[in-house]
Amino acid sequence: MGTKRIRENRRNFFKSTIALIGGVITYSLIKPIEVFAQAKEEESKEDTSNLPLWGMGVDIESCVGCGKCVEACKIENNVPKEPFYFRTWVEQYTVKNDGEVKIESPNGGIGGLKQSVPSKDIFKSFMVPKLCNHCSEAPCVQACPVGATFISPDGVVLVDESYCIGCSYCIQACPYGARFMNPFTKVADKCTFCYHRITKGLDPACVEVCPTDARIFGDLRDKKSDLVKFLQKNQTQLLKPHLNTHSRVFYHGISSEVK
């Protein structure tokens, strides 16, 4: 009798163990898909076609490398002042007569970029402002394990500071070096197109201060916007197009040396 009861217990134990394992497997399999399903649902609910789709044009021929945009960005967005943290920066490219390419961006270009190569050795030189490219197929968004970085309905790649776990995977995934780990908030940080400004109808700080209008910000859906006109008038290129990130920062006048 005793052994029979134990055997029954044993059978019950196996049943519950199997149920438990089954539960774990099913949950593990369903959980990610469920999130997927939710995301789909949310997408279908929300019609984004009447919202703006933000983008930026950068005119290489206009940029003089004054670095005002970098400075304005740091002040506006409270970016740490140390020279390791930038939401935007300006690179100075110098192609020498011997074909060698020198790239510089001391302190991101704050204070203005100065030419270090003697003019007799210079074949050509130009400035390239850089920032988050706000990719529509963003590798950082794909990589974030918790979904703390996301694309807003109006096309801006943002980070939820209260949610980011600080794993740095998005920083590794960004091909443009546009992200950094903020040493104070301890979360991934990046250009937001000054989301707090653009949602109030203002331009991003870098665009606002640019003395030569080298940065053109606007709504890609608004056919009358300065950005759309800029794209219509000029031949533009994306950075690292082979990575298929479909970014929304368009460069005009870029040279093949630009990385």
Partner 1 sequence: MEEHFQHLYQALSQVDGYIYPNEIDLHWGLMIVLYPYITGLVAGAFILASLERVFNVKVLKPTYGIALLTALAFLLVATLPLVSHLQHPLRSYEIFMTPNPTSAMAIFGFVYLWYLMAVLLLEIWFDYRLDFVIWSKKSTGFKKLFYKIITLGINDTDEKSAKLDDKLGYFITVLGIPSAFILHGYVGFIFGSIKANPWWSTVLMPVIFLFSAMVSGIALVMVIYMVVSWVRKVKINMLCLDTIAKYLFYILIIDFTLESLDQIHRLYEAEESFNIIKVLVAGKLNITLIFIQILLGTIIPLLIMGLFQVYKPSEKIRKAAYLLVGILVLIGVFFMRWNVVIGGQLFSKSLSGFTSFKAVYSGMEGYFMTAVWLILPLLILTFLLWLMPPWNKVTSYQD
Q: Does 247 bind partner 1 (CB under 8 A)?
A: no
**164 to 193: interface string for partner 1, x by CB under 8 A:** xxxxxx-xxxxxxxxxxx-x--xx------
Convert 81-141 into a string of H (helix), E (strand) and C (coil): CCCCCCCEEEEEEEEECCCCEEEECHHHHCCCCCCCCCHHHEEEEEEEEEECCCCCCCHHH
Q: Does 130 bind partner 1 (CB under 8 A)?
A: yes
Q: Does 1 bind partner 1 (CB under 8 A)?
A: no
Q: How far is the CB of 1 from partner 1 (least distance, A)?
A: 15
Q: Tell me which residues in 92-111 interact with partner 1 (CB under 8 A).
A: 101-105, 107-108
- In angstroms, the CA 52 to CA 231 distance is 16
Residue span binding partner 1 (CB under 8 A) among the ranges 23-31, 213-221, 230-238, 247-255? 23-31
CA dist 112 to 39, 101, 241, Å?
Answer: 44, 20, 29
Instruction: Specify whether the backbone of 226 is left (phi greater than 0), alpha (psi in -120 to 50) or beta.
Output: alpha
Angle CA 67–72–76, to nearest 5:
155
Q: Does 163 bind partner 1 (CB under 8 A)?
A: yes
Which parts of this chain interact with partner 1 (CB under 8 A)?
A: 3, 6-7, 9-10, 13-14, 17, 21, 24-25, 28, 31-33, 35-36, 82-86, 89, 91, 101-105, 107-108, 130, 139, 141-148, 163-169, 171-181, 183, 186-187, 243, 259
